[in-house]
Amino acid sequence: MFLYKKFSIGNADHFNPGHYAFIADELAIMMEQIKHIPHDFVAEIIVSFLKNHSLRCEWIAANPELARLVSSKSVRSDRIESLFESCQKDSFFSQELETYLKGKLAEKGVYTTGRGYY
């Protein structure tokens, strides 16, 4: 069985937020779903799981409720995950996407330094 990437991203492509307007919508839905959860490591947990489907032990220990929700896909973002999957071979695009996501989360008051508020 062949697996096809949902997005076509070339080796020289750069991330352009204007081409992926759904990201802001998906992040807004996610933030609404988790607004009652402690704020520890929110950005790290969300971005790491969407990008690599992995979480650090320290993040899980600090915010087990969010870690459980994200890893069980109770809080999900299928299109952002698909975008990360589609750019696995293009680390520059992936890094730009990650930076953009962290910036959008910071705008909502979720910081990547561990303990943030939104």
pLDDT for 117 beyond 50: no
Judge whether 50 and 77 are in contact, CB under 8 Å: yes
> pLDDT tens digit string along 70-111?
999 888 789 999 999 988 776 889 999 999 999 888 887 765
Q: Which residue has the tokens 């990437």?
A: 5
Judge whether 50 and 84 are in contact, CB under 8 Å: yes
Residue 112's identity, in one-letter code, is T
* Cross-strand partners of 84: none
Q: Which of helix, strand or coil describes residue 40?
A: strand
Question: What angle do the packed helices 78-86 and 42-52 form, to 10 degrees?
Answer: 60
> pLDDT tens digit string along 30-78?
988 988 888 889 999 999 999 999 999 999 999 999 999 999 988 878 9
For the beta carbon of residue 54, count every other beta carbon within 10 angstroms.
Answer: 9
Judge whether 73 and 50 are in contact, CB under 8 Å: no
